Amino acid sequence: MQLPNWPVYGDRELALLREVLESGQWGGYHPIVKRFESDFAAFQHCAHGVSLANGTVALEVALEAVGVGPGDEVIVPAISFVSTATAVSRAGATPVFVDIEPYSFNMNPERAAAAVSPKSRALIVVHFGGQMADMDRLMALAAERGLILIEDAAHAHGSEWKGRRAGSLGRMGTFSFQNSKVITAGEGGMMTTNDAELAARVRSLADQGRRPGEGWFFHFELGTNYRMTAWQAAVLVAQLERLPEQIGLRRRNAAWLRAELVDVEGLRFQEAPPQANAHSYYLLLGRIDAARCGATRDEFHRALTAQGVPCTPFYPHTLYANPLYRQGGCRVEPCPVSEACITDAFWLPQRVLMGDEETAREIVAAIRAALRPGVR
């Protein structure tokens, strides 16, 4: 099976990297960093973007900028990459894990509402796999209960809720440009917001407490160095230029593949409410009902990968079942859906959706075969 390699790159990345090389200004102050910030923020429908070293520190500095700290609780989904929770813990606050919805894989707004306590300060929603969480209900919850809403949009470059892009709906959004992500420079991150003051605060915290127009050796608050390098920005400017076409290809392939497999009993892909009108398709997520399709998730995963289709059998545990959080330092709400997904969900990475028509047909055949008894 001829799946495209990931990451995708070409002459444009090389030309921009060369520009940086020859400029002699390789750090975060090369103008290409500002250019990427404004290009990316505009792409996400945000007024401001602050580039950062990676998506993890983007979450950390976002929480710091809004003053989340000891004594505060932050509601997070039980299913995400660990940074969504560790950013809260590293701020000295307590992550409160709540359940996801069965087929959107995103935070369940009712479960989030039930988890609010007098200590609740913020809500971090993840647009899992690139599908927007239910922002109408989560934004209403945040407004009603006075919570700061942060979008962890590490998977959601280009994703939309009612035409508004990820990172532009909450108080702030955070993105990752790590190697597997929707666009990548190997590592990288961004904080987006429509609040100029917050953007300036994040920029200062991430740049040693400096202020624009003041000297290099003048530091006004306790900052650190989370700056993105010019190398990262050069690659990301080129990657962003490729993104609309790549997303279009993935959406077409995903729609075709889902339609082809609609008759398969017991295989159910991620489901979006109509308001989630655009999906980045960073991941194609699904769940396997073993009783109905004759294969367990693990059998399906083994059979599919044996046929050359990359597939991940979901996370090995909910965030609270990680060794770190088994020691405590968190609050855990009942999460039966998250726990079920650990045993029956899977995802296919974005490059599975980036091949030609023949490859798409081969993938459909491989998925069907992986669900047939006897193939495993």
Ligand X SMILES: Cc1ncc(COP(=O)(O)O)c(C=O)c1O
Dist CA 308 CA 33 (whole Å): 38
Contact 45, 165 (CB under 8 A): yes
Contact 300, 309 (CB under 8 A): no
Nearer to ligand X, 178 or 277 (CB): 178
Sites of contact with ligand X (CB under 6 A): 54-56, 80-81, 83-84, 126, 152, 154-155, 176, 178, 189
Of 178, 243, 240, 179, residue with least CA distance to 37? 240
Smallest gap from residue 164 Cβ to ligand X (A): 19
Q: Is 375 exposed, middle or buried (0-12, 13-18, 19+ CB in 10 A)?
A: middle
Nearer to ligand X, 85 or 278 (CB): 85
Nearer to ligand X, 84 or 229 (CB): 84
Tokens of 221: 């608050």
Give the DSSP H/E element, type plus range, for residue 375: none
Smallest gap from residue 65 Cβ to ligand X (A): 17
DSSP state of 71: T
Nearer to ligand X, 226 or 267 (CB): 226
Nearer to ligand X, 66 or 107 (CB): 107
Nearer to ligand X, 60 or 160 (CB): 60
Smallest gap from residue 327 Cβ to ligand X (A): 21
**Nearby residues of 99 by Cβ (< 8 Å), 6 or more positions away:** 77, 78, 108, 111, 333, 334, 335, 336, 337, 338
Nearer to ligand X, 61 or 293 (CB): 61
- Phi first, then psi: give them for residue 42, nearest 5 degrees: -65, -40
Q: What is the DSSP track for 159-220?
A: -EETTEETTSSSSEEEEE--TTSSS-SSS-EEEEES-HHHHHHHHHHTBTT--TTS-TT---
For tokens 């459909």, the residue is 364
Smallest gap from residue 54 Cβ to ligand X (A): 4
If you count them, how many residues does the chain have? 376
Strands, sheet with 172-176, edge to edge from the N-terminal-most edge strand? 48-52, 189-193, 172-176, 148-152, 120-126, 73-77, 94-98, 331-332
Smallest gap from residue 362 Cβ to ligand X (A): 28
Q: What is the CA radius of gyration of the chain?
A: 21
Smallest gap from residue 215 Cβ to ligand X (A): 31
Smallest gap from residue 209 Cβ to ligand X (A): 22
Task: Using CB positions, name the residue nearest to ligand X.
Answer: 55
For tokens 């294969």, the residue is 295
Nearer to ligand X, 55 or 170 (CB): 55
Smallest gap from residue 55 Cβ to ligand X (A): 3
Smallest gap from residue 59 Cβ to ligand X (A): 6
Nearer to ligand X, 303 or 311 (CB): 311
